[in-house]
Structure 1
Amino acid sequence: MQLAELPVVSSRAALLDEGMTDRHLTALLRAGTLVRIRRGQYVDGEAWRSLSRADHHRLLTRGVMLAAHPGTTATHVSAAVEWGAPVWDLPLDVVHTTRRDGKVGRRRDDWIQHGGVLPAMDVTVHHGVPVSVAARTCVEITTITDVERSLVVVNGLLNSGATTEQEFADWVGRARHWPHSLATDLVLRLCDSRIESAGESRFHYLCWRQHLPRPTPQVKVYDERGRLIGRVDFLFEDFGVFVEFDGKEKYLIHRREGETLDEFLLREKKREELICQLTGWVCIRVTWADLATPELLARRVRKILDSRRPLGA
C-alpha cells in the first residue's frame, strides 16, 4: 500500500484561534474547501478527495489522537493501516486504540478503545503516530476478524518486513490467553512472508479451506542459460501447474514506465507462454471475481490438478 503524505487535521478551536468564525467554517464546508472528518475536526477538502480509503482512516486516527488521552496508542486495524498493510474487507470508519495505562474509555461511533496491558516496549512511533509493534498488531487483528481477513493483514506485514514469522510466533505465545484468540494459531500456521498481495493471500487461504494441495508461492523460473525469466505467483509442484493472480496491484507494480496497459498485457502473455514452453507447466489465471465463488474456483483448480499426473510418479 502506498502511504500518502497527509494534510493537517485542524480542530474547531484551533481554527477559531486563527481568526475564523463558525459562519466562515460553515461556508467552507458547504463549498467543499474543508471536510469534517469527525466532530469538531477538519481537513483540506481537495486533499481529502485525492486520498485512498486507507489514508482517510489514517486521518481519522490522527483526529482521534488529538482528542485522546496522552497514553493512547493506535492498535488493531488502525495500527495495520499505519504500517501500510493491506486491509481487505475490514471496516475503516472506526479507529482502534489501546491505552498504555490499561483503562478503557467509552465506545463511540468512530472510535473503539480496547482494554488490556500495553507496555511501552510494545509501542513504537510510525509516521508520527504511536502504534503497536507490527508483531503485536498481527495478533490483535486475529482477535477482531476471521482467518481469511487476518491472513491478508499478517502476510502484508510479513512481506513488507515490518515483522517476521518468528516475531509473530513469539507474540502468539505471549497472547495465548487473550480473549477471542482461538484463530490466532491457525493464522500463524497459514501465514507466509512470500505472499505479496491481498488477492494472493485469499487464494492461498482458499487452497487450505477447500482442501487443495498447498502451493508454493513466488517460484522463480530460469531459461536454458540460467537467466531469470520471471516468477509465478504459485506453483503446485507435484502437478506442474502454476497460478497467476490477476489483480490491480500487479498492473500498477509491474508496468514499465510509459508502457500502456495493452503493451503490459501482451508482455505478460509472452512471459506466460515462455514459462510454459520452458517447463511444460500449465497456467491457471485467477481474478478477484473468481475468489467471490470459492467452491466453483476450487472445482476448476481440482479438475486441472486431477488431469495432470504428479510429476515423477
Structure 2
Amino acid sequence: MPRAPHVPRELAFLPFSADRAITAGLLTRRMLRSSCWRRLLPDVYVHEDGYRPDDHRMWCDAVALTLPPGAALAGPSAAYLWGVDLLPRQSPVFVVLPEAARPRHRDRIVVAHHRLAPDDVTRFAGLPVTTGVRTAFDLGRSAFAGSVRRTDGVATDWDADRSEGRTRALVAVDALLNRRVVRLSDLAAYLAAHPRRPGTAQLRELLPLAEPLSESPMETRLRLVLYDAGLPSPTAQHEVYDARGRFLARVDLAYPRLRIALEYEGDHHRERAHFRRDVARLNALRAAGWLVLRFTADDVLRSPGRVVRQVAQALSERRSPRR
C-alpha cells in the first residue's frame, strides 16, 4: 500500500506559491507532482483538502499571491471579503493593477487599471484589498462595468448587461452601507474629494437614493423602480404598532401616513413555518388598517410597469377622501 505523501502543515489548506514553498524547503518539484496538489494558477497550488472550486475566498487567496506591488483585490471581490456577496457562482476575481502593469492572460481574473492611493488599500486577513469606502466608490460608479477586461478576454456576468449598471451600483452601495462597511457621510466625502473620476456622475445621482436600512438587493431594486417612475420614496424597514402601542410588524417599505406596506417575497416565504407566520402577520396588519402589497422577484425584474401601476393605484385610493 503506497504511503500517503507528506503534507507540510504550512501548505495543508491555503493556496501557496510553489516557487516560494520549494525555496523554503517545504516541497520539491517531484513532491508537487503528487495528485494531492491542485494547480489553481501558474505557480499557485492548493492541497486537495483545501480545494473548493466555488469558494471565492480560496480564489482571492490564490490571485493575491500573483499581484504586483500597488495592486489590490477590488470591486465585487473586495465587497465579498468585507461580507457583502454580490457574486454569482464561479465568479472571477476582480483586481485593480497599477496603470503600468500588464498582466498575463489568466482564467478567473478580471483586471481594471485605476490609480490607488496608499490609503485606498488595506489588509484583510493578509490580503491587499481596497478599503470599504474605496470599494463603495468603485462599485457605485460602476468602475467594474465600463473599464474592466477579463484577462482571458471573456465577458463576465458583472459587466455583461451594461444597461443595468446603475441598478447594480445602487444594490452594491446599499449592501455595503447596510453591513456598515462604509458610512454614507464618508462615501460622500470621498466622492467630493475625487469629483472627476469616471462614473462619478452616476454615483452623485445615486447617493441621495442610497438606503443603509435596505436588507436585500430586491428591496433596493423595488425602491429604484418606484423612484424611476416618479412615485414618492417609501420608508425602509418601517415598524408598525397597533392603537395600544404594541409592535405588529416591520415591513420592507412603507408609506406610513397612508398605511401602505410594500413587501418583497423571497423564496424563503414559501416554507411552511414562514408561510404561517406571514399569514398571521398579514392579518394583524390588515386589522390595523394597513394595505399590504406583496411582490416577487419576477414582478420587480420582469413586470416593473405592473408594480408601478399597482403602487400608484394604492397611493391614489388612499389619498382620495373617503365618502
Q: Does 1:286 align with 2:285?
A: no
Q: Does 1:177 align with 2:176?
A: no
CA distance in 1, matches of 2:68, 2:75: 18
Residue in 1 that maps onto 2:14: 8
Does structure 2 retain, via aligned residues, the 8 Å contact 1:88–1:149?
Answer: no
Within 5 Å, which residues of 2 pair with 1:137-156? 137-141=135-139, 142=141, 143-145=143-145, 146-156=165-175
TM-superposed CA distance for 1:127, in Å, is 3.0
Tell me if structure 2 keeps the 8 A contact 1:86–1:152.
no
Look at both structures and tell me which one has the larger radius of gyration over its CA atoms: 2
Equivalent residue number for residue 304 of structure 2: 295
Question: Is 2:118 the partner of 1:108?
Answer: no
CA distance in 2, matches of 1:312, 1:128: 62
Alignment partner of 1:194: what SS? Answer: coil
Gaps of 5+ in 2: 1-11, 146-164
Q: CA deviation at 1:66?
A: 0.6
| TM-aligned CA distance change 1:117 to 1:147, over 3 Å | same
Specify which of 234, 257, 262 is matched with residue 243 of structure 1.
262
Counterpart among 159, 176, 187 of residue 178 in structure 2: 159
- Counterpart CA distance in 2 for 1:297 and 1:41 is 51
Distance 2:65 2:44 in 1: 9
> Deviation of residue 35 (structure 1)?
4.7
- Counterpart-to-counterpart distance in 2, 1:286 and 1:144: 30
Could you give the per-residue CA deviations for residues 185-205 of structure 1, whole angstroms, max 9, x where no partner exists? Answer: 122121111111111111112
Q: Tell me whether 1:134 sits opposite 2:143 in the alignment.
A: no
> Given the two structures, how large is their TM-score scaled by the length of structure 2?
0.76
Tell me by how many angstroms 1:216 deviates. Answer: 1.0
1:266 matched residue in structure 2: 276
Q: Secondary structure at the match of 1:67?
A: coil
239-248 or 262-271: which moved more? 239-248
| Contact 1:76–1:140 under 8 Å retained in 2 | yes
Out of 303-312 and 152-161, give the one that drifted further.
303-312
Whether the aligned pair in 1 keeps the contact of 2:251 and 2:262 (CA below 8 Å) is yes
**CA–CA distance in structure 2, aligned partners of residues 24 and 74 of structure 1:** 27
Q: After the TM superposition, which segments of 4 or more aligned residues of structure 1 sit over 6 Å from their partners?
A: none
CA shift, 1:107, in A, is: 6.0
TM-score by length of 1: 0.78
Aligned-residue offset at 1:77: 2.0
Inter-partner Cα distance in structure 1 for 2:199 and 2:16: 36
> What count of residue pairs does the alignment treat as equivalent?
287
Structure 2 residue corresponding to 1:194, chosen from 210, 213, 234 = 213
- Tell me how far 1:173 sits from its aligned partner: 1.2
- Pick one of 34, 37, 41 that aligns with 1:38: 41
Q: Kindly tell me: are residues 211 and 128 of structure 1, through their superposed partners in 2, closer, same or farther at Cα, counting changes over 3 Å?
A: same
Cα distance in 1 between the residues matched to 2:275 and 2:86 = 27
Q: Which residue matches 2:75?
A: 76
Show the counterpart of 2:91.
92
2:13–2:49 CA contact under 8 A, matched in 1? no
Aligned partners of 1:297 and 1:134: how far apart in 2? 37
Q: Does structure 1 retain, via aligned residues, the 8 Å contact 2:70–2:116?
A: no
Q: 1:181 to 1:309 in 2, by over 3 A?
A: same
What residue identity is the alignment partner of 1:292?
L
CA 1:232–1:311: 2 relative to 1, 3 Å: farther
- State whether structure 2 residue 230 is matched by structure 1 residue 211: yes
1:126 Cα shift?
2.3
Shift of 1:160: 0.9
Residues 221/39 of structure 1: CA separation in 2 closer, same or farther (3 Å cut): same
- 1:292 is paired with a residue whose SS is helix
Distance (Å, rounded) in 1 between the aligned partners of 2:231 and 2:89: 26
Structure 1, gaps ≥5 residues long = 1-5, 29-33, 252-259
Question: Percent identity at matched positions?
Answer: 24
Matches within 5 A, 1:27-66: 27-28=35-36, 35-45=38-48, 48-49=51-52, 56-66=55-65
**Shift of residue 88, structure 1, vs aligned partner:** 5.8
Name the CA shift for 1:267/1:18 in 2 (closer, same or farther; >3 Å): same
Alignment-derived partner of residue 287 in structure 2: 277
Distance 1:216 1:35, change over 3 A: farther
